[in-house]
């Protein structure tokens, strides 16, 4: 693996599955001082994003004159924006890759607002794949659904274990084993329920084993709590032919003009050094890169001798370092 980090889970309400794309608004004459600062958004390359202008005294959308980097209506280099505030990012990265969206109220040119837009590669980690799937992708226990919500997480990486017939997907207990409320042989689907209208995705693996979560402190029998005191991990044996046998992970390969290639996991063991570069690929954040800030120790079961595909065995010792990233957690989508 390139890095060790916690993979996120995404839960949605079963009756509220619509994603609001026009979520980034501009406000004139802000109600509170903290709204006077710059608004920001992330827009994938060659994709639309709606902006709206509001007055503090009215919830109605206001008519404004729009520009990108001080160019009325924008252009092909920085992206274009129409009279309704619909911005379309360019089909090639500008330099730098951050542009400024500006709006001037037509009825009062003294009222203006700005938003910073970062043009980035699209996040393909949350999309449906055809088999054999690559990892770093949306997935999870296909029974992780109730009357009010369903959940998705990340199918992390591919490993083998000597006593198992098929390679296994390594992810979190809360993704594969429903926080220890799952069962052996539960179906693991791609995409995850939360990215597929709460409908089970393609069967790609079967729940095999989870590290039992041990909350700290443990005040009840059985133990329940907000966070594990050991590790949040589980494995699921793949369905033959359903997962890329090389274990390729989305977005860890070379960057192209409009996308980032997948890449197989490392065949060696990395040396952990403070300040070293780390990367993760997951369904919510896509590709995220940072540096190692600290090293801590967690206890793992002695039977966890696993290896990446086509690599020498990697025997996890009784104590394995866990990585802590220096950037703050990314918000859930």
Q: Is the pLDDT of residue 227 over 90?
A: no
> 197 pLDDT band (50/70/90 cuts)?
very high
Asked whether residue 234 is assigned to any structural domain, the reply reads yes
Out of 158-162, 212-216, 271-275, the most confident range is 158-162
| Maximum distance among all Cα pairs of the chain, rounded to whole angstroms | 73
The H or E element spanning position 220 is none
| Tokens 């449906």, residue located | 128
What mean pLDDT is reported for the chain? 77
Domain co-membership, 116 together with 129 = no
Torsion sign across C-alpha atoms 79, 81, 85, 87: negative
Domain co-membership, 295 together with 169 = yes
* Residue finishing a domain among 120, 155, 176: 120
Pairing of strands 48-55, 86-88: antiparallel
pLDDT for residue 11: 53
The CATH number of residue 96's host domain is 2.60.40
> 258 pLDDT band (50/70/90 cuts)?
confident
Q: Is the whole model's pTM more than 0.85, yes or no?
A: no
Mean pLDDT of 147-166: 92
> 276 pLDDT band (50/70/90 cuts)?
confident
Side-chain half-sphere CA neighbours of 293 within 13 A: 8
**C-beta neighbour count of 284 within 10 angstroms:** 21
Asked whether residue 136 is assigned to any structural domain, the reply reads yes
Percent of the chain whose pLDDT exceeds 70: 72
* Residue finishing a domain among 91, 120, 149: 120
Domain co-membership, 239 together with 296 = yes
Domain co-membership, 139 together with 269 = yes
Percent of the chain whose pLDDT exceeds 90: 46
Segment 54-63, tens digit of pLDDT: 777 777 788 8
Domain co-membership, 108 together with 149 = no
Asked whether residue 34 is assigned to any structural domain, the reply reads no
Q: Report CA Rg, the chain.
A: 23
Q: How many angstroms separate the CA atoms of 146 and 160, rounded?
A: 32
Cα pseudo-dihedral 169, 172, 175, 176, rounded to 10: 50
Domain co-membership, 129 together with 195 = yes
Asked whether residue 161 is assigned to any structural domain, the reply reads yes
Domain co-membership, 150 together with 100 = no
- Which residues sit opposite 55 in a β-bridge? 28, 58
Total tally of structural domains belonging to the chain: 2
Domain co-membership, 182 together with 264 = yes
> 72 pLDDT band (50/70/90 cuts)?
very high
- 202, 189 contact by CB (below 8 A): yes
Cβ contacts of 247 within 8 Å, gap of 6 or more: 135, 157, 158, 159, 167, 264, 265, 308, 309
- 262, 250 contact by CB (below 8 A): yes
Segment 297-327, tens digit of pLDDT: 655 555 444 555 544 333 333 232 222 322 2
Domain extent at residue 310: 10-14+125-325
DSSP symbol at 258: S
Asked whether residue 67 is assigned to any structural domain, the reply reads yes
pLDDT for residue 80: 98
pLDDT for residue 297: 64
Three-state secondary-structure class, residue 9: coil
Domain co-membership, 232 together with 109 = no
Q: Is the pLDDT of residue 177 over 70?
A: yes
The larger pLDDT score, comparing residue 294 to residue 143, is at 143
Q: Left if phi > 0, otherwise alpha if psi is -120 to 50, otherwise beta: which for 106?
A: alpha
> Which runs of consecutive H residues, i.e. helices, occur in the chain?
173-176
Asked whether residue 24 is assigned to any structural domain, the reply reads no
Asked whether residue 23 is assigned to any structural domain, the reply reads no
Q: How many angstroms separate the CA atoms of 288 and 280, rounded?
A: 5
Q: Which two tokens stand for residue 35?
A: 């709204």
Domain co-membership, 206 together with 299 = yes
* Residue finishing a domain among 120, 149, 173: 120
The larger pLDDT score, comparing residue 187 to residue 285, is at 187
Domain co-membership, 133 together with 229 = yes
Domain co-membership, 180 together with 261 = yes
pLDDT for residue 299: 52
Mean pLDDT of 223-233: 65
Asked whether residue 249 is assigned to any structural domain, the reply reads yes
Q: How many angstroms separate the CA atoms of 86 and 52, rounded?
A: 8
- 42, 330 contact by CB (below 8 A): no
């Amino acid at each position: 693996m390139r890095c060790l980090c916690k993979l996120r889970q995404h839960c949605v309400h079963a009756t509220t599955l619509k994603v609001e794309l026009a979520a980034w608004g501009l406000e004139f004459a802000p109600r509170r001082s903290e709204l006077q600062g710059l608004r920001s958004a992330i827009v994938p390359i060659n994709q639309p994003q709606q902006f709206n202008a509001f007055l503090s005294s009215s919830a109605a959308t206001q008519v404004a004159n729009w520009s990108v980097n001080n160019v009325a209506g924008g252009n092909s280099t920085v992206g274009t924006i129409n009279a309704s505030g619909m911005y379309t990012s360019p089909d090639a990265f500008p330099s730098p890759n951050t542009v400024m969206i500006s709006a001037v109220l037509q009825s009062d040119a003294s009222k203006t607002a700005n938003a910073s837009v970062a043009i980035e590669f699209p996040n393909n980690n949350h999309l449906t794949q055809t088999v054999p799937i690559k990892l770093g992708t949306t997935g999870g226990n296909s029974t992780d659904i109730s009357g009010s919500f369903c959940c998705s997480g990340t199918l992390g990486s591919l490993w083998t274990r000597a006593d198992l017939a098929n390679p296994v997907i390594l992810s979190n207990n809360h993704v594969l084993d429903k926080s220890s409320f799952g069962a052996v042989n539960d179906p693991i689907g791609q995409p995850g329920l939360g990215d597929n209208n709460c409908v089970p995705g393609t069967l790609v693996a079967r729940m095999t084993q989870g590290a039992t979560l041990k909350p700290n402190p443990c005040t009840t029998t059985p133990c329940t709590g907000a966070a594990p005191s050991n590790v949040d991990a589980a494995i699921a044996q793949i369905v033959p032919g359903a997962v890329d046998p090389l274990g390729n992970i989305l977005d860890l390969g070379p960057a192209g003009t409009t996308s980032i290639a997948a890449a197989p996991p490392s065949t060696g063991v990395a040396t952990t050094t403070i300040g070293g570069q780390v990367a993760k690929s997951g369904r919510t954040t896509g590709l995220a890169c940072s540096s190692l800030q600290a090293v801590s120790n967690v206890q793992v079961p002695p039977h966890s001798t696993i290896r990446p595909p086509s690599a020498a065995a990697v025997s996890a010792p009784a104590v394995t370092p866990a990585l802590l990233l220096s950037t703050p957690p990314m918000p859930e989508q």
